[in-house]
Amino acid sequence: MKSKWIVLLIALLAMSAIPAFAQEDGSTTHHISFDGFSFSFDALVANNVSITQYPGDASDLAMAGAPEVHHTEFVLYSGGGIPIPAAFEAPGFVRVYNTADFAGYAWHETQLAQLQSLLENKPDLAAHMVLQRGDDDPSLPFIPGVPAGQVMRARAAYVETDEVKGIVYMTIYREDAAPAYAYEFMYTFQGISTDGAHYVSAVFRPIPFAFPAEIEAFNPTTFDASLYYANAIIDLNRASPDDFVISLNLLDAVIGSFAFEAE
């Protein structure tokens, strides 16, 4: 795989980002603008960001998951600045793609087509908040490719702003049948700019309070994964936005801030 090019590291947002305003709880909103794309996030989500331009893999590269298309990645993280965590190990990341670059990348083309179909027809997303039955695959679009199965989906909803339209939902990817721990759950936005030129994937780790910090002991011979994750869907759908270490309201605000400069 080609190495990433780190073109900009913002080690301390206090030095390089623009504080938009201070909230009553004393937190600060940071604004990031790079290469025609901008967004804001609260300091309760993260206090640092790194920006990487990834040149893209060969479309026929054999690898776990799927070859990646050229994109710009924003990793949101907290701490001293270095080392920068990998995207899936951070509190959140945002990837911005040009949809024209998806040509020849089978995974990305399929995910884009599925998302476009959902946004055009607006079916009830409740049909996707079920576990897989037989040959039916209720998975929702997710970029980047993950070398595991999308076990479940919860809190699925359509999102539309002046800049983007897409879906949000909570999911977890696993290769084995086992209970989940809190950090595994991902809250994602998969969307397209209103002009169709860009695909935006945002993935966050909100950490639900209802799940343990580590996988608890269990008996694999008696563990009922279907029942467990069916109940997880119910619990996550019933949870309030503040039943997470990072409030879903703060993450929805990040998504609502996505903007593209007019070309």
Place 23 in a pLDDT band, splitting at 50, 70 and 90.
very low
pLDDT at 3: 41
Is the pLDDT at 191 greater than 50? The verdict is yes
Q: Output the average pLDDT for the chain.
A: 89
Mean pLDDT of 71-77: 97
Decide if pLDDT at 2 tops 90.
no
Mean pLDDT of 24-33: 77
**For residue 21, what are the contacts with CB-CB under 8 A and spacing of at least 6?**
28, 29
Place of tokens 């055009």: 120
Per-residue pLDDT tens over the stretch 121-131: 999 999 999 99
Q: Is 155 left (phi over 0), alpha (psi -120 to 50) or beta?
A: left
Per-residue pLDDT band for 65 (boundaries 50, 70, 90) equals confident
- For residue 240, is pLDDT > 80? yes
Distance CA 3, CA 1 (A): 6
- pLDDT-derived band at 139, boundaries 50, 70, 90: very high
Arithmetic mean of pLDDT, 149-166: 97
**Domain count of the chain?**
1
Name which residue leads in pLDDT, 240 or 10.
Answer: 240
Residue 19's pLDDT band, with cuts at 50, 70 and 90, is very low
Task: Name the residue range of residue 182's domain.
Answer: 5-260
